[in-house]
């Protein structure tokens, strides 16, 4: 039971560090110093400490609650070293769909803001989801099929059985590549960040979010980065034998899209779809073909 409290907490802390890492990577790539160590935390505290905030109604507020809560629930489905949480009760497919709940919550909350910039952002975000989820489910299918199970615990056990040689990335390099590609889009980082587009639709979904609303989204971002990194680690990098290797893997995984992100401008929505349906999806299918035949 204590696991269920510790897992989201760990996820949040790791997520904060990831946000920092992301901003630092960005700064270094632009030859800047970047934010101080606790900057993500200060941001969140500041936002929650706002004294006047505008709400557009109950759904606006509940949307944020759902966005945070969905991730809090979802991370308990991802086993950590020594902690299985609810991984036995849920499994991979349930996890993938649980991770859509925050998006749904956010979409509802944004919808009630009555700001078309937000709605456009959501429309683009959902379109992007349509794009990246296809390689994502191909990857999920491939892994689940390869290990003959949708239980993440069993998948990790199978990977850890023979060291690096039995890791997903060694067994299924094509799928691992497709997964990485899909993760880039899933995180909404450049070149796939059209739905935020600060200069044209005023950060899209976040346009009417201030104070604790934005703070909630910052928290959600921590979870999101963690979830993406952890999921990839669990599927392809053998999960965590111990905390040290787990953290190294998770950060390494997230560092890749971060580093790529700041080198690119962004694609238009339809180009996102076209690109993601073409390359990672095709590579993923090829990977599955190799697995099956």
Partner 1 sequence: MTSLDHLVLVSALTLALMLLFGRMRIAGRLAVVLYAVQFLLLMQTGALLGEPVASSLTLSVLDLQMHWRYDALSWFFAMITIGAGFFCAWYAAGVWQERYREEGHSPRLFHVALAANVLTMLILLGSGDLLSLFIGWELVSWASFLLMAVGGGPAGRAALRYLVYAFSGGMAILAGLMLIYTQTGSLDYARVLSLLGELSDGQVWLLLLLIGGGFAVKMGLLPFHLWQAAAYAETPGPGSSFLGAISARMGLYALIMLLVAMLGIGRLTAMEVPFTFLSARDLIAWIAALTVIIPTYIALQQHDARYLLAWHGIGQGGYMLLGLMVGNAVGSAGGLFHVFTYGITQAALLMAVFAVVHRTGTADLNKLGGLVARMPLTFLVLLFGIISLAGLPPMAGFVSKWMVYRSLVAEGMPLLFVAAVVGTLGTILSVYKLIHNIFLGQLRIEHEQVREAPLSMLLPMLGLSTLIFLVGVTPGPALSWVAAVQASLGLPPVPYTLGGIEDPRGGLDMLWLVGILMAGFGVGALIFFGLGGRSKRVHQLDNYAGGHFLTADVRYQYSDNFYAGLMHLIGPWYRGAFLWLEKALTATVAFLSAVMNGFYRYAQPALFVLATAVALLALTTA
Partner 2 sequence: MTELIKTPRTGETLPVKAGKRTNPLANVFDELVRFAQSRSLFMLHYCTGCGAIELPPSMTSRFDMERLGIQPMVSPRQADILLVTGYVSVKTLKRIILTYEQMGSPKYVIGICSCTVNGGMYWQSYATAKKLNDYMPVDIYIAGCMPRPEAVIAGLRELMENIRQGKADSWKDYYRHYDHYLGHQQRLFGETWQTPTDVIAEARHYGLFGPDTLGTHTALLEQHQRPLEALEMKVDIPELMARR
Taking a C-beta distance cutoff of 8 angstroms, is the pair 269, 124 a contact?
Answer: yes
Number of residues written out for the chain: 293
CB of 97 to partner 2, least distance (A): 29
When the beta carbons of 23 and 271 are compared against partner 2, the nearer one is: 23
- Residue 46: contacted member of partner 2, partner 1, none (CB under 5 to 8 Å, by partner type): partner 2
The structure tokens listed for 218 are 């910052």
* Among residues 49, 162, 163, 198, the one that binds partner 1 under rule CB under 8 A: 49
When the beta carbons of 5 and 37 are compared against partner 2, the nearer one is: 37
Taking a C-beta distance cutoff of 8 angstroms, is the pair 85, 7 a contact?
Answer: yes
Site residues for partner 2 per CB under 8 A: 23, 27, 30-36, 38-39, 41-43, 45-47, 49-54, 56-58, 117, 198-199, 202-203, 206-211, 213-214
Contacts of 7 (CB under 8 A, 6+ apart): 75, 76, 78, 80, 83, 85
Binding of residue 91 to partner 1 (CB under 8 A): yes
CB count within 10 Å of CB 26 equals: 18
Measured CA distances, 19 to 173, 225, 277 (Å) = 27, 8, 28
Strand partners, 83: 80
Task: State which of positions 144-173 bind partner 1 (CB under 8 A).
Answer: 144-145, 148-151, 154
When the beta carbons of 51 and 293 are compared against partner 2, the nearer one is: 51
Half-sphere exposure of 249 (CA within 13 A, CB side): 25
When the beta carbons of 27 and 170 are compared against partner 2, the nearer one is: 27
Binding of residue 124 to partner 1 (CB under 8 A): yes
């Amino acid at each position: 039971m204590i696991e269920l409290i510790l897992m989201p907490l760990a996820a949040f802390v790791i997520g904060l560090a990831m946000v920092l890492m992301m901003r630092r990577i960005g700064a270094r790539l632009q030859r800047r110093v970047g934010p101080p160590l606790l900057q993500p935390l200060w941001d969140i505290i500041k936002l929650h400490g706002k004294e006047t905030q505008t709400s557009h109604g109950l759904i606006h507020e509940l949307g944020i609650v759902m966005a945070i809560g969905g991730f809090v629930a979802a991370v308990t489905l991802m086993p950590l070293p020594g902690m299985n949480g609810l991984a036995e009760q849920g499994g991979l497919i349930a996890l993938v769909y649980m991770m859509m709940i925050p998006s749904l919550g956010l979409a509802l909350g944004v919808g009630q803001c009555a700001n078309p910039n937000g709605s456009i952002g959501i429309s683009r975000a959902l379109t992007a989801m349509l794009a990246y989820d296809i390689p994502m489910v191909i990857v999920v299918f491939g892994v689940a099929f390869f290990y003959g199970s949708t239980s993440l615990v069993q998948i990790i056990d199978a990977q850890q059985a023979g060291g690096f040689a039995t890791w997903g990335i060694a067994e299924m390099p094509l799928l691992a590549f497709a997964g990485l590609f899909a993760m880039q889009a899933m995180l909404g980082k450049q070149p796939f960040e059209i739905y935020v587009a600060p200069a044209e639709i005023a950060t899209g979904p976040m346009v009417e979010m201030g104070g604790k609303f934005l703070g909630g989204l910052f928290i959600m971002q921590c979870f999101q980065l963690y979830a993406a990194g952890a999921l990839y680690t669990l599927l392809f990098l053998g999960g965590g034998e111990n905390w040290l290797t787990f953290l190294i893997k998770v950060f390494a995984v997230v560092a890749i899209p971060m580093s790529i992100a700041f080198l690119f401008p962004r694609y238009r929505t339809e180009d996102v779809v076209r690109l993601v349906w073409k390359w990672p999806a095709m590579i993923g299918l090829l990977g599955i073909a190799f697995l099956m035949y």
